[in-house]
Structure 1
Amino acid sequence: MKSFKTKVAASATMLTACLAFGSGCSSSNTSSSSGNTATAGQAAVTTATEQPAVQEPQPPVATKTPKELTAHGDMRIDNYYWMNQREDPKVVAYLNAENDYTKQRLAHTEALQEKLYKEIVGRIKQTDESVPYKEDGYWYYTRYEEGKEYPIYARKKGTLQAQEEVMVNANERAEGLDYYSAAGMNVSPNNQLLAFGEDTVSRRKYTIRFKDLNTGKLLSDAIPNTTGGAVWGNDNKTVFYTMKDPALRSFKIFKHTLGTPTSQDKEVYHEADETFSTFVYKTKSDKYIIIGSGSTLSNEYRYLDADKPNGTFKVIQLRERGLEYSVDHFGDKFYMVTNKDGATNFKLMQTPVSKPGKANWKEVVPHREDVLLEGIEIFKDYLTLQERRNGLPQIRVKKWSDPKTDYYIDFGEEAYTASIGINPDFDSKVLRYNYSSLTTPSSTYDYNMVIKEQELLKRQEVVGDFNPENYEAKRIYATADDGTKIPVSLVYRKGTQLNGNNPTLLYAYGSYGISTNPGFNSVRLSLLDRGFVYAIAHIRGGQDMGRQWYENGKLLKKKNTFTDFIDAAEFLVEQKYTNPDKLFAQGGSAGGLLMGAVVNMRPDLFKGVLAAVPFVDVITTMLDTSIPLTTGEFDEWGNPANKEYYDYMLSYSPYDNVETKEYPNMLVTTGLHDSQVQYWEPAKWVAKLRDMKTDDNMLLLHTNMAAGHGGASGRFERYKETALQYAFLLNLLEQNQ
C-alpha cells in the first residue's frame, strides 16, 4: 500500500427572523443592520428631552415549539427540536443572529483577536516541507508555500535533487471554494497513477479522483460519496473503495475498474449490521487487500490476493462479540494485535495465511497487566511495538532472530508523546518515529535499530523568539473520590509562582479510548506568555493508563469521566496553581459533552468554558439511528432503547439536565455542516441555557456557516476561531492586550 496519506450564505428577511426568534418582532424593534433582535416590549422609546440610552446587545430569543419525546413511559419536552432542519431559512436566520450577537458582545476584543491571530500565524514557518520518505524509488513529501492555505503533495524520483513532480496542488483545487480537503493520496503499484479524495462541503463525504502522473491530466473517473481512500489492486487498474450511507456510516466496499462508468462498479462487501462500519486497506507487504469491519467491541477481517483483484475475499476470523483484533502481514503469516482470551491490554499473535482462524493463533508478545499494546510495525529483521505504560507512549524494538532480546527507546522527558512514523520499507534497519513534548516542538527521527543511534531529521521551527528553556512541564496526580490517581500534565513559563492566582486552562477529552498525549502546540504559547498554566487531565474514558482506563469511563461508568475532570480541577486549586475565578475548562466533541456535564455538576468551579462542537443532546441523538455515528456507538454510550441505559444517560445528558441556576461564562462553537456532532445540538443547548440560567455571564454561540466538525479548512483560517476563543478567555480576565 502506498502510504502517502495523509457557505451556506443566507440573509434572512424580517419575517423569517421573527419566526425564528418569537413573537413581538416588528420594524420598530428589530434592526437588521445591527443584528440585534428584540423581543416584545423591548423597543426603545425616546422623547425630545431625552437622550437615547446606550443599550447592551440583546441575545436572540429562540422560539419555543414544544415537541413531546417519549420512551419507556418517560416524556421529555424539547422546545427547540425544530432547529434540526439545516436548510430551513428560520434555522439559518437564528444561527446568523447568534453569530451577530457573539460578534457584538466581543466587538471590543477585535483588536485583541487580530493580535492573537497574527501571533499564532506568525509562529508558523510559511514556506515549509515535511521530511521526505522513500518508497518504490520515489521520495514523497508535502510542502507549503508562503501565504498559501493548502499543501502541495509532491515527489521526486531517485534522489532529492531530482525534478519535483507535483501530484496535487490543493491551493489550485481549492480556488473559489469556501471549504476544501484532500485526503487518501495513494499511488498505483506502477507509480504512474494517483487516487485521491476531495471534500468541498465538510461533511466528510469525498469524491475520489484519479490523475495520470505522467501527463498530469485528471482522468474522467470520479466516485462520489466515499471515505476518500482508494486501494489499488496490483493490476494498476482496479481500485477498492468504501461507500457511505445516508447516515454517513461506511457500509459498503465496491470495486471500480478505471475507464468504466461507476454504475458498473461491483459491490464486494456489504456491512449490514448498523453497529459496525467497514473499511479497506492494503498490507505493508502489498500482498493482500484487507476488508475490515469494526464496532466498539468486535472486529472481522477478510483478505484477497492483490495480484487477483477479481478473486473472492476470504474470512480471517468471523466476528465474536468482545473479540477485537487487527491484521497485518509478513512472510507467510498474518499478525494480530488482539484481546483474545481476556487480554485486556492486548497481545500480539500470529497465524499461517493458509489457516487464519483463531484456533491457529500463536502468541508472539504476551499480555501484560501494566502495558497497553497499541500497535506494531514489521520489518524484515525487526519488530517494533507501540506501547503505553504509566500513561506515556513507548516504542519497543525486538529482533526476529533473537526475540528474547529487546529494548526501549529512551525519550528522556517526564511528559511527552512519541509514535511510530511512516516506514514503508520492509528491508530497512532504520525506524522513523515522531516525538514531541509540552516544551519540545514536533520532531522527526530516524533510529538505527542495529547500532541504537538516532538522527534528528527535522524539528518544527517556531518562528520568533521561542526558547523551550523558558517553559516548564511536569506531571502531577489528582485523587478521585474512589481513590484512583488521575494524571494531569502541566506546562507554564518558568518562574510562575504557585500562589493560587494563575489563570489556568484545563483541557480533556475522555471518550472512545482515545488517549490525550502531552504534545507541543505553538498556538498555546499565546496563553503561556500571558501567564497561563495549561493543563491536560488524563481522565477515564480515554486509554491513557491502559484499556481498563477506558472501560471504567464508558457505558454505565461514564460519570467517572466527569468526576475525574472535576477532581483534577479541584486539585489544581488545592495545589495553588489557580482559583475558581481564574480557572477555565475546554473540550470538544465528546469533550464538549464533558464540558456540558461538568457545568451542570459544578458550575461554580470555572470562570469560563470553551465547548467546541459539543455532543450534548445525548438521549435524543442516540435514539435517532438516522443521525451519523449513532448506531456504531451503542457500545460506547449504551443503547437508550434499553431502559437501564436510557435512565443512566438521562441522568447526565447535558441538554436534559440544564437547570434554573447560575452557569459560568461560555463560548460554544460549531459548524453548520458538522458530520460528527450535528450543529443543532450546541444550538439547542445554548437556547435552553439562555432561557433557564439566572446569571448575567456571557453565553455565546459561534457557528461556522461554511465548515464542519474540524472547523475551517486551510492552514491559517482555522486560527481565527482560536483567536476568538483566546480573546474570550483574556477578556474575562480583563487582559485585553
Structure 2
Amino acid sequence: MRAATVLLLVSTFGLAAQQPRSSTMFSYPKAHTGPQTDTYFGTKVADPFRWLEDLDSPETRAWIDAENKVTADYLAPLTTRPAIQKRLEQIVNFERYGSPEKHGSRYFYGHNTGLQNQTPVYWAEGLTGEPHILIDPNTLAKDGTIALNSLSITDDGTLAATALAEAGSDWQKIHVREVATGRELPDVIQWTKFGGAAWLLDNSGFFYGGYDAPPDGDALKATNYFMKIFFHKLGTPQSEDKMIFERKDDKEIFLGTGVTDEGRYLIVYQGKGTSPNNVLAIKDLSHPDAKILNLIDKPDAAYSPIGNNGTRFWLLTTLDASNGKVIEVDLEHPEREYWKTIVPESKSKLESVTLVHRTLIANYLTDARNEVKLFSEEGKPLGTVELPGVGTVGGFGGKREDTETFYTFTNFTTPGTVYRLDLATGKSSIYREPKLSFQPAEFETKQVFVTSKDGTKIPVFLSYKKGLKLDGNNPTILYAYGGFGVSLTPAFSSSRIFWMQQGGIYAQAGLRGGGEYGETWHEAGMKLKKQNVFDDFIACAEWLIANKYTSTPKLAIQGGSNGGLLVGAVTTQRPELFGATLPAVGVMDMLRFDKFTVGWGWKQEYGSPSEDEAEFHAIYKYSPLHTLKPGTKYPATMITTADHDDRVFPAHSFKFAAQMQADQAGPAPVLIRIETRAGHGGGMPITKQLEMSTDIYAFLIKELKMTPQL
C-alpha cells in the first residue's frame, strides 16, 4: 500500500514565596496548594496542584524554573558528567543508515554520519548511484529541533511530501519538493497529526488526515476531535482542499489513508481511539464520482491492508485469531462468507506482513524475538528468511512486482544493519553495516521467564558485560512498557552500551498489556486488568533480587509514556523495592488523562474514569498521582518531561513531582528535569538526547553508589 511512508531513519500554583522548604535532606520550591476538588461517582478527589495545568501562567513558569534549578544544583557537583557525556558521544558517533525504498528508478534512504542532530535523507539513481541530499532537517533549525516525521514519495520518485514537526510536537506541516532539484513548491499543509501524504499515481495531489485548527495559543493543550481526510491538489491553497471523508457520528475516530500500488483504490482506516480494532472503507479512484464503500463494516477485530491484485485484497487480521492471520477479500464478493484464510493463525504472533515479488513476507514474534517466513499469495509456505541471530527485524517494504526488498536487523549489542533480500533467490546480503567504537563480543544476552503473581510467565531479556558475578551487587536498570499492544523486542541503544560498560545489567521485560504474545496478552493488561501489568513488573524486580543479579539499593526502574505510568504506579505500590526510579513523560494523573490533546483516545486502553464507575474505581487504585502518601520514604527519583509534549501533557509530571516532593519522608532526592523545545521524545536532537542521558546516568551512578569506569 502506498500510504505516508516513514523511512527507517536512524537515529525521552505558583510559588507562594521563593523560599525553599526542607524535606529531610532536600529542599524544593514551595508550591502552594489550591482548593480544587472533583467528585467521581460519589468519591471526592482533591487536586491541589491543578493550577500547574496552565503551562504558560507566570506561576507555573516560575515553578518550572525553580524545579530545573534544584535539578541543576543537584547535578552540578557531579564530576562524572563531562566524562559520561564524552563516552556517550564516542559510542553514538558511527554512521547509521535506514533501509532504502525504491520509487521509480530512484532509491531513498536515511544516513546519519554519527552526531548529526537529525538524520538527512538521500536519493540516488540506482542502488549504487551517486547520493544526493533530498532533505537535511539539520539546516531547518540551529538547535536541531525540527524533525522529519514522515516522508511520502510519488510512485515515479519525482516528488516528495515531507511532514515536519517542531520542538517535539505531534503537530506537523507537510511541504512538497521536487526530488531532482530540491526546489520546494508553494504547497504547505498545516494541522495534521499521525501520518503524512498518500499520493495519486499521476502526482496531481495527495490525501492526508487533519484536524480543525486549535484555538490560538492553545495548540499544545486543546483536545483534538473529529479527524477528517482531505485531498490536496498541487498548486492550490490548503483552503481549497476537498474534504473526502469524515465520521460525524463519533468524534473519537482516528483516520488513516493510503493508495494501492497501482493507484486505483483509496483505503480509509477508521479506529476508535487507540483500540486495535478498526473498520476499512474503500473508494475506486478510477471512477471520480464513485462513493466510498465499507469494505470492513464493523470493528470486531484489527484489519490491516497488505496489498492487492486487482479486486483481490490481502489483509492481516485478528478476527478469531488473537495472534493474527492473513485473509483474502475480493471486492467482487466482499461478503464475509466469501473471505478466505490464506495464512492461518500460529502459536507465534504475526506482527506484520508485506507483499513483494508476489510473496507474502510474514514477520512473527516468538518469545519477543522475530522470525520471518515466506508464503505464496495462495498461502503455500516458501521457506524462511535466515536472520543473523536473535533480535528484531523491520522493513521488507516494496511493491508486489519488485524482486528485492530491504530489512534492518538489530539487537541489544548490534546497531541497525541493513540487508538486501533477493526474493528471486531467497538470499540475504549485507547492504550497510556500521563500524563501531566498541566490541559487541564483550557483552552477552540471555532470556529468562519470570513467574508473576498469578502464575503467568513473563519474558525478560538480560544484557550485560561477560564475566558477571551473581552477588547481588550489580547495578541494574529494569525497563518495561506494558500497554497498547506494543511489543518490546531486542533493540540497540548507545546509552545502554555505556551502562553495560559501567558493569550494569539492562533488563527488559515483556509485560502483559504489550503485544508480545498477541491480542490476548494485550487484553490481559488493559482496563480493569491493568494491575496485572504492575504485578508482572514487581515480580521481575523481585526475581532479579532473589537470583542475586542485583539488590534493592542497586536496582533502578525506567519507563516512558505508558511506561512512565508503570514506573509511577509500582513506585507508589512498592517504594521499598527500588533504589531509584526514572519515570519519563508519564501518564500520572489517571483521572484527567482524557482532558488534553489526544488523551481521550486512551480510554480504549485504560477505561473512562469520568464515565464508568467500575473503571473509575480500578483506575483510582493505581493512579500514580493519587496513590502517593504523606510520610513515605520514596526511592531516589528523577522525573523527566518536556514543555512541548502534546502527547502526554507535561502537567502530569508537574503535578506528580510537586506531590511526591511534598510527601517524601526519606533522604532520597525527588527531582524533575523539564526539557525545553522538546516533546514526547520523537524527533529529539542528538544533542538533547546526550544531555539527558548524561544527567540520568550521573544520577544513577550517584544514587546507586556505583564506581564509574570512565
- Is TM-score (shorter-chain normalized) higher than 0.5? yes
Q: Is the 8 A contact 2:92 2:115 kept in 1?
A: no
Alignment of 1:140 with 2:115, yes or no, is no
Aligned with 1:166: secondary structure?
Answer: strand
Query: 1:472 corresponds to which letter in structure 2?
Result: E
Q: Is the 8 A contact 1:471 1:493 kept in 2?
A: yes
Aligned with 1:483: secondary structure?
Answer: coil
Q: Is the 8 A contact 2:413 2:497 kept in 1?
A: no
Q: Which residue of structure 1 aligns with residue 238 of structure 2?
A: 262
CA deviation vs aligned residue, 1:98-142 (integer Å, no higher than 9, x gap): 001000012112x42222222112123455544544331012122
Cα offset for 1:438? 2.1
Taking structure 1 as reference, are residues 148 and 346 closer, same or farther at Cα in structure 2, changes over 3 Å only?
closer
Q: Distance in 2 between matches of 1:290 and 1:531?
A: 50
CA deviation vs aligned residue, 1:510-562 (integer Å, no higher than 9, x gap): 00010111222222121111111110111111111232211111111110100
Q: Is the 8 A contact 1:491 1:533 kept in 2?
A: yes
Cα offset for 1:235? 2.8
* Among 677, 687, 695, the residue aligned to 2:648: 677
Taking structure 1 as reference, are residues 673 and 595 closer, same or farther at Cα in structure 2, changes over 3 Å only?
same
Query: 1:535 corresponds to which letter in structure 2?
Result: A
Cα offset for 1:447? 3.0
Q: Which range moves more in the overlay, 519-528 or 436-445?
A: 436-445
Q: Is the 8 A contact 2:476 2:550 kept in 1?
A: yes
Query: 2:481 corresponds to which letter in structure 1?
Result: Y
* Among 4, 9, 20, the residue aligned to 1:38: 20
* Among 319, 340, 349, the residue aligned to 2:298: 319
Taking structure 1 as reference, are residues 662 and 153 closer, same or farther at Cα in structure 2, changes over 3 Å only?
same
Q: Distance in 2 between matches of 1:309 and 1:198?
A: 31
Q: Which residue of structure 1 aligns with residue 700 of structure 2?
A: 729
Q: Which residue of structure 1 aligns with residue 139 of structure 2?
A: 172
* Among 574, 578, 581, the residue aligned to 1:609: 581
Q: Is the 8 A contact 2:481 2:560 kept in 1?
A: yes
Alignment of 1:106 with 2:75, yes or no, is yes
Q: Distance in 2 between matches of 1:722 and 1:516?
A: 20
Q: Distance in 1 between matches of 2:203 and 2:585?
A: 41
Give unmatched runs, 5+ long, in structure 1.
Answer: 7-18, 31-36, 43-54
Q: Which residue of structure 1 aligns with residue 218 of structure 2?
A: none
CA deviation vs aligned residue, 1:359-387 (integer Å, no higher than 9, x gap): 4311111223x222222111233211111
Cα offset for 1:417? 1.8
Q: Which residue of structure 1 aligns with residue 429 of structure 2?
A: 455
TM-score under structure 1 normalisation? 0.88
Aligned with 2:301: secondary structure?
Answer: coil
Taking structure 1 as reference, are residues 350 and 225 closer, same or farther at Cα in structure 2, changes over 3 Å only?
same
Q: Which residue of structure 2 aligns with residue 442 of structure 1?
A: 416
Q: Which residue of structure 2 aligns with residue 208 of structure 1?
A: 174
Taking structure 1 as reference, are residues 131 and 513 closer, same or farther at Cα in structure 2, changes over 3 Å only?
closer
RCO comparison, higher one (Cα < 8 Å, 6+): 2
Query: 2:132 corresponds to which letter in structure 1?
Result: E
Q: Which residue of structure 1 aligns with residue 220 of structure 2?
A: none
Q: Distance in 1 between matches of 2:692 and 2:114?
A: 21
Taking structure 1 as reference, are residues 132 and 637 closer, same or farther at Cα in structure 2, changes over 3 Å only?
closer
Q: Distance in 1 between matches of 2:115 and 2:572?
A: 43
Q: Distance in 1 between matches of 2:492 and 2:328?
A: 36
Taking structure 1 as reference, are residues 186 and 662 closer, same or farther at Cα in structure 2, changes over 3 Å only?
same
Taking structure 1 as reference, are residues 547 and 323 closer, same or farther at Cα in structure 2, changes over 3 Å only?
closer
Alignment of 1:485 with 2:485, yes or no, is no
Q: Which runs of 4+ in 1 moved over 6 A?
A: none
Q: Distance in 1 between matches of 2:178 and 2:492?
A: 38
Alignment of 1:416 with 2:399, yes or no, is no
Alignment of 1:20 with 2:21, yes or no, is no
Aligned with 2:415: secondary structure?
Answer: coil
Aligned with 1:103: secondary structure?
Answer: helix
Query: 1:5 corresponds to which letter in structure 2?
Result: V
Q: Which residue of structure 1 aligns with residue 552 of structure 2?
A: 580
Q: Which residue of structure 1 aligns with residue 217 of structure 2?
A: none
Q: Which residue of structure 1 aligns with residue 10 of structure 2?
A: none
Once the two structures are superposed, the pairs formed by residues 644-659 of structure 1 within 5 Å of their partners are 644-659=614-629
Q: Distance in 2 between matches of 1:586 and 1:264?
A: 47
Alignment of 1:66 with 2:22, yes or no, is no
Taking structure 1 as reference, are residues 287 and 328 closer, same or farther at Cα in structure 2, changes over 3 Å only?
farther
Q: Distance in 1 between matches of 2:289 and 2:138?
A: 37
Cα offset for 1:146? 6.3
Cα offset for 1:397? 0.9
Q: Is the 8 A contact 1:68 1:75 kept in 2?
A: yes
Alignment of 1:80 with 2:54, yes or no, is no
Q: Is the 8 A contact 2:137 2:144 kept in 1?
A: no
Cα offset for 1:736? 6.4
Q: Distance in 1 between matches of 2:128 and 2:430?
A: 18
Query: 1:657 corresponds to which letter in structure 2?
Result: T
Identity of aligned residues (%): 28
Taking structure 1 as reference, are residues 21 and 309 closer, same or farther at Cα in structure 2, changes over 3 Å only?
farther
Q: Is the 8 A contact 1:385 1:396 kept in 2?
A: yes
Aligned with 1:718: secondary structure?
Answer: helix
Cα offset for 1:590? 0.4
Q: Distance in 2 between matches of 1:199 and 1:481?
A: 43
Query: 1:648 corresponds to which letter in structure 2?
Result: A
Cα offset for 1:450? 4.8
Alignment of 1:558 with 2:559, yes or no, is no
Cα offset for 1:218? 1.7
* Among 596, 600, 604, the residue aligned to 2:572: 600
CA deviation vs aligned residue, 1:428-448 (integer Å, no higher than 9, x gap): 444422222223332222234
Q: Which residue of structure 2 aligns with residue 47 of structure 1?
A: none
Alignment of 1:157 with 2:157, yes or no, is no
Q: Which range moves more in the overlay, 301-310 or 599-608?
A: 301-310
Once the two structures are superposed, the pairs formed by residues 467-546 of structure 1 within 5 Å of their partners are 467-546=439-518
Q: Distance in 2 between matches of 1:349 and 1:559?
A: 35
Cα offset for 1:674? 0.6
Once the two structures are superposed, the pairs formed by residues 4-15 of structure 1 within 5 Å of their partners are 5-6=6-7
User: Over the residues paired in the alignment, what is the CA RMSD in angstroms?
Assistant: 2.4
Taking structure 1 as reference, are residues 85 and 555 closer, same or farther at Cα in structure 2, changes over 3 Å only?
same
Report how many residues are paired: 686
Q: Is the 8 A contact 2:567 2:583 kept in 1?
A: yes
Q: Which residue of structure 1 aligns with residue 197 of structure 2?
A: 230
Query: 2:681 corresponds to which letter in structure 1?
Result: G
Query: 1:156 corresponds to which letter in structure 2?
Result: A
Q: Distance in 1 between matches of 2:406 and 2:240?
A: 41
Alignment of 1:293 with 2:270, yes or no, is yes
Q: Distance in 2 between matches of 1:669 and 1:3?
A: 31
* Among 326, 334, 350, the residue aligned to 1:348: 326
TM-score under structure 2 normalisation? 0.92
Query: 1:277 corresponds to which letter in structure 2?
Result: F
Once the two structures are superposed, the pairs formed by residues 636-651 of structure 1 within 5 Å of their partners are 636-640=605-609, 641-651=611-621
Q: Is the 8 A contact 1:3 1:422 kept in 2?
A: no
Q: Is the 8 A contact 1:250 1:279 kept in 2?
A: no
Aligned with 1:351: secondary structure?
Answer: strand
Q: Distance in 2 between matches of 1:680 and 1:349?
A: 44
Cα offset for 1:88? 0.8
Larger Rg: 1
Cα offset for 1:671? 0.7
Alignment of 1:96 with 2:65, yes or no, is yes
Q: Which range moves more in the overlay, 327-336 or 85-94?
A: 327-336
Q: Distance in 2 between matches of 1:696 and 1:87?
A: 32
Cα offset for 1:725? 0.7
Give unmatched runs, 5+ long, in structure 2.
Answer: 8-12, 215-222
Q: Is the 8 A contact 1:67 1:79 kept in 2?
A: yes
